[in-house]
Structure 1
Amino acid sequence: MKREGTSNLPFPAWTGVILTLFLILMDQVTKLLALSQLKGNPDIILIPGVLQLKYLENRGMAFGMLQGKIPLLIALCLLFFCVFLYIYIKIPKTRYYLPLICTALVLAAGAVGNLIDRVFRGYVIDFIYFSLIDFPVFNMADIYVVCSGIFLVFCVCFKYKDENDFRFLNRKN
């Protein structure tokens, strides 16, 4: 069945690679700034009692899980990236799937951003802290992963809820 908006994307598919690289670059730049400006210095209060910049070296994953298990975290990230790459290659590059494509690219940028830290530093630099709710310290890559993960759930629940929407995964190229 033909879907509305199944025409090709109005831009080349490699534009997604540029977007992903830009997001990874922004993540790494903010982490380098945190390293140079925050490490060994007092926190920077942005909104008193609400938001501050605080340097933290996270040797685990979200909420401190799997502390010190860097090889396992690297392996999980590489596995995720391989699954992502498979889906990205298979997904039709049409307007109908544009929200899914963009969400996947942002999610991949977050995963790669933190993977770079784990591989080259042995830890992830976190620096954004919501003191109002004592939320764990996080970084730009974490924002990419969480926001795109939430958006992905909404996409699957409300836009791509027909079983035919994912038949491209079974298609042979």
Structure 2
Amino acid sequence: MRYYILTLIIVFLDQLTKWTVTRSMDLYESIEVIPGFLSITSHRNSGAAWGILEGQMWLFYIVTVIVIGVLIYYMNLYKDSYPGLMIGFAFILGGAIGNFIDRILFQEVIDFIDVYIFNYDFPIFNIADSALTVGVVLFIVFMLIDEMKNKGKKFNG
């Protein structure tokens, strides 16, 4: 249950920040927060990461429903074990739901975090995108740690 609460917190923060941006900024308006590094820029994306598959909402609907279903299945399956994996799943689920809400309501995703890394203007993203990324990284780290533990058991007898 606590992992679903984490998911709800992520969805709430994602939707609150998107609501704040859409209510207080014009589209494409930008506010520099840290000069040369971070701006809040009101942006919309009708595709996936970096704008790929732009306008393919039906594909995003299908994939997101499948991903949400699979995540809920595995979260229920492993609910009493593997906390690292469960936290990763909660982040991925929260991110998927956050962007899914946008796609259903607006047929596009509201993005606003605009970061410059070594003079490279990284694609604008949002809290849901960040949660998805953190969740995938946690999932990979957990899987690598689990794999190392299992290899150690095989070699140690």
Q: Same fold (TM over 0.5)?
A: yes
| Structure 2 residue 2 is matched with structure 1 residue 42 | no
Which letter does structure 2 place at the counterpart of 1:108? Answer: L
RMSD: 1.7
Q: Distance in 1 between matches of 2:59 and 2:113?
A: 25
Matched positions, count:
149
What secondary structure sits across from 1:130 in the alignment? strand
Moved over 6 A (4+): none
Structure 1 residues 93 and 47: CA distance shift in structure 2, 3 A = same
**Which of the numbers 71, 82, 94 marks the counterpart of 1:109?**
94
Higher mean displacement: 136-145 or 151-160: 151-160
Equivalent residue, structure 1, for 2:52: 65
Residue 28 of structure 2 contacts residue 43 of structure 2 at CA under 8 Å; is this kept in 1?
Answer: no
Equivalent residue, structure 1, for 2:153: none
How far off its partner does 1:92 sit?
4.7
5+ long unaligned stretches in structure 1? 1-13, 164-173
How far off its partner does 1:57 sit?
0.8
Within 5 Å, give how 1:1-173 maps onto structure 2: 14-40=1-27, 42-94=29-81, 97-131=82-116, 132-161=119-148
Which structure: greater helix fraction? Answer: 2
How far off its partner does 1:159 sit?
3.0
Q: Distance in 2 between matches of 1:21 and 1:151?
A: 18
Q: Distance in 1 between matches of 2:28 and 2:99?
A: 23
Which structure: greater strand fraction? Answer: 2
**Taking structure 2 as the reference length, what is the TM-score of the superposition?**
0.88
Structure 1 residues 57 and 106: CA distance shift in structure 2, 3 A = same
